[in-house]
Structure 1
């Protein structure tokens, strides 16, 4: 994005939530604000500091850090400060633990010679709205999810729909106030919302946080108007103001300083160079999800039967994942597909892979960062949403006709023949319409972040709002 003519010496506190899918996009926003001469302090816990290195190197005078230790919580083992390292089911504990930073931040503000005039914090940190209120400054909610997903999240906490039949996890919940009236089975709703227990102190803390998000001065969304206009307009109507800023796609566009997550893999990119345009299927389920061995078997069989070229990014089992149950590539698979496909273990350079001319389709869990990257790269998506906002993200892709449904759910094991057929179809003339649609949205995404684009205007509007 070009540097805006707007200049501002405003000091802002940026507070990311320590999960990769949340941190990366907020750090990309921080980069854009720093380019616009906003003075920034980023709050992190000690072990998350290395994530900031590229940003601090790029803006040594504009960005400083506030390093505070993560407060203890009985569900978080000592030494763990990032969601990816948490034991299973301790996700809410991180939200609650971070809430205990309220007083340390308050003290830091009161002792600072030139304290921030605003806080921009992740939507899992809603309590910072009350902190901002006590300090007499503005708080902006940052949404790492899109406008439709945020509309669903806000609707859940504002109206609190409940099941009629507590035994029926397939009971449908309708969101009739949201455009196009999306509806979801109970099990597809936010697990944080589904685990809410009235009167439980931690549940009430989380509920109050989301209600505080709705009440915050402004909302900053990693999306662009041309992709989600109807849902952006809905949010403005629901909130009763126009301080909803769509500033995406927040991507490390051509900037090697922001090569997400790790170094580029020359082997993968060199292999892609040998493939024809739009013939490769990329398979990846994000930075957190690990497939069960049954799911791994089916994906492998589908790829093998399809005869398509592919790159499969395999997430190795982490905390809470038993290697005998999760993440195992079937024996002999790589030998059988040698020359036609690559299995990448651990981190894969996703932005570079999706942007490569040879990649035509993407089997995805529908995490929002992955969607933004794929939309920008004009890649057709095959959708397998697993949890959280991924179901509403898939809804959007299907509505826009840039996504084709594979299956739904973290426990679902699709049919390998159907999967093989979809793989083949996704890089064939059968999906020409969808791929033309993907191309049109990629053009809109690039224009949004280009000179005088809608997202550049929104960033400038945000900076002007921060500096008033």
Structure 2
């Protein structure tokens, strides 16, 4: 049997990024199952995979191998830097292991290409040493990619803190956004996080291509601007080729889903009656905000499914790298669970999100605006309430509300809290809006078409795969 073409991936110690990159690999194996073998190298902070993520890794095809690198100890920095910086530093400190693993793979296989998470950009230099192609995998929107490619120029033309800039900031091919809605890493120009973000953005140009989990029909103007204007904005593009291959979304095995209590609860609810609430794997709220959200859900009188509830914390990303085990339901308002017993279902554990979103009882999704969750909602045609917490989520929220107009975003009071009355207002606004629902269904059709055999993303996927296959005999 002819040896398979080998592709190596380098991910980061954040499960949502791992899922996106590995779903890309699963799609490649599904389309060309006899042609490719994929190895994913994953730096770690603690022992991996976690209990919550283990089922995902256990169900990967045999043609995909995951190698978890030894954990990196960076306790000296954990309490001093932002989440994104913690991730970046842990990846940087793993680079020697990454190279050792890649060199071993290339010695024993037809390794032709390296696909690297944008946070692991340092691994691109290894591709040159091994004489193979390297691509950046960008698991966010084309809007955020355009902003990153343009960021070196922004850094020069805007001298104040972005949150203090008096007018919305223009991003090529996209809606303008207020400075406060740029990613967290851009919010303090004197910080380590800012310098890492600027460097990471600059490194996007030093690659053979950028593979992005979005699709042309959703962000056409952004893709045009990226290809035509380049990072300088002067019409001479030095941007690598960009390959939109989305929407790539997670698929879960149905065995566990069938026994999931929340799905059984949804089976007994009327169509389009339930608002689904999830702030992802890392999102947290203050005690005050948890109280207001809970009371708002109760006052709305709408059915709700609230999953992955966490204990309160004033830092929005506090649980991302935390292993604390405390029952968060104890922090809900007194009597809330009893009063809403017939109205809602609350759980602190993981829910099968894909199965939830495709359930006909779901009418809207209150989301933290992680890109994976956004794409899953679009694929299943579920309108959203955009409640961003950290990282690039505020930029995503603006894309959903002001750009695509498939979501509503709650307003904060003077203390930075979404009060219960505002929770009621956005729930009623999204659940009852025919216009938002109509636009979402249209976008859902475009998303599904992009992934059909002759769709825009599938054509791009095939182009990449055929290019990699053609390199096999040259290695």
Q: Matched residues in 1 for 2:370 and 2:413: separation?
A: 13
Q: What secondary structure sits across from 1:387 in the alignment?
A: coil
Look up the match of 1:370.
Answer: 373
Match of 1:182 among 167, 176, 191: 176
Look up the match of 2:263.
Answer: 269
Residues 204, 64 of structure 1: CA spacing in aligned structure 2 closer, same or farther, 3 A cutoff? same
Look up the match of 1:223.
Answer: 214
User: Which whole-Å deviations, capped at 9, do the CAs of 1:387-418 have from their partners, x for residues lacking one?
Assistant: 22112211221221211121369973123223
Question: 5+ unaligned residues in a row in structure 1: which ranges?
Answer: 1-6, 78-85
- Structure 1 residue ranges (4+ consecutive) displaced by more than 6 angstroms after TM superposition: 320-327, 408-411
CA deviation after TM superposition for structure 1 residue 87, in Å: 8.8
1:24 and 2:19 correspond: yes
Q: Matched residues in 1 for 2:285 and 2:414: separation?
A: 8
Contact 1:109/1:115 (<8 A) preserved: no
Q: Matched residues in 2 for 1:53 and 1:271: separation?
A: 23
Q: What secondary structure sits across from 1:231 in the alignment?
A: helix
Q: Matched residues in 1 for 2:166 and 2:325: separation?
A: 33
Residues 387, 170 of structure 1: CA spacing in aligned structure 2 closer, same or farther, 3 A cutoff? farther
Q: Matched residues in 2 for 1:207 and 1:267: separation?
A: 45
> TM-score scaled to structure 2, two decimals?
0.83
User: Which whole-Å deviations, capped at 9, do the CAs of 1:65-117 have from their partners, x for residues lacking one?
Assistant: 4443134334367xxxxxxxx99735413312322333333344444233622
Q: Matched residues in 2 for 1:131 and 1:14: separation?
A: 12
- Aligned pairs for 1:95-134 within 5 A: 95-111=88-104, 112-114=107-109, 116-134=111-129
Look up the match of 1:356.
Answer: 359
Residues 264, 160 of structure 1: CA spacing in aligned structure 2 closer, same or farther, 3 A cutoff? farther
Q: Matched residues in 2 for 1:410 and 1:137: separation?
A: 53
Q: Matched residues in 1 for 2:415 and 2:215: separation?
A: 32
Contact 1:316/1:345 (<8 A) preserved: yes
Count of equivalent residues: 443
Match of 1:416 among 394, 410, 420: 420
Q: What secondary structure sits across from 2:70 in the alignment?
A: coil
CA deviation after TM superposition for structure 1 residue 359, in Å: 0.8
Question: 5+ unaligned residues in a row in structure 2: which ranges?
Answer: 231-236, 312-318
Residues 404, 195 of structure 1: CA spacing in aligned structure 2 closer, same or farther, 3 A cutoff? same
Q: Matched residues in 1 for 2:340 and 2:290: separation?
A: 15
> TM-score scaled to structure 1, two decimals?
0.84
Contact 1:383/1:407 (<8 A) preserved: no
Q: Matched residues in 1 for 2:244 and 2:413: separation?
A: 29
Q: Matched residues in 2 for 1:320 and 1:135: separation?
A: 38
1:315 and 2:309 correspond: yes
Match of 2:460 among 458, 461, 464: 458
1:282 and 2:279 correspond: no
Q: Matched residues in 2 for 1:249 and 1:410: separation?
A: 37
Q: Matched residues in 1 for 2:103 and 2:425: separation?
A: 62
Look up the match of 1:72.
Answer: 73
1:63 and 2:64 correspond: yes
Look up the match of 2:233.
Answer: none
Q: What secondary structure sits across from 2:7 in the alignment?
A: strand
Q: What secondary structure sits across from 1:33 in the alignment?
A: helix
- Aligned pairs for 1:316-465 within 5 A: 316-317=310-311, 318=319, 319=322, 328-398=331-401, 399-407=403-411, 412-428=416-432, 431-465=433-467
Q: Matched residues in 1 for 2:129 and 2:197: separation?
A: 19
Q: What secondary structure sits across from 2:276 in the alignment?
A: strand
Contact 2:19/2:250 (<8 A) preserved: no
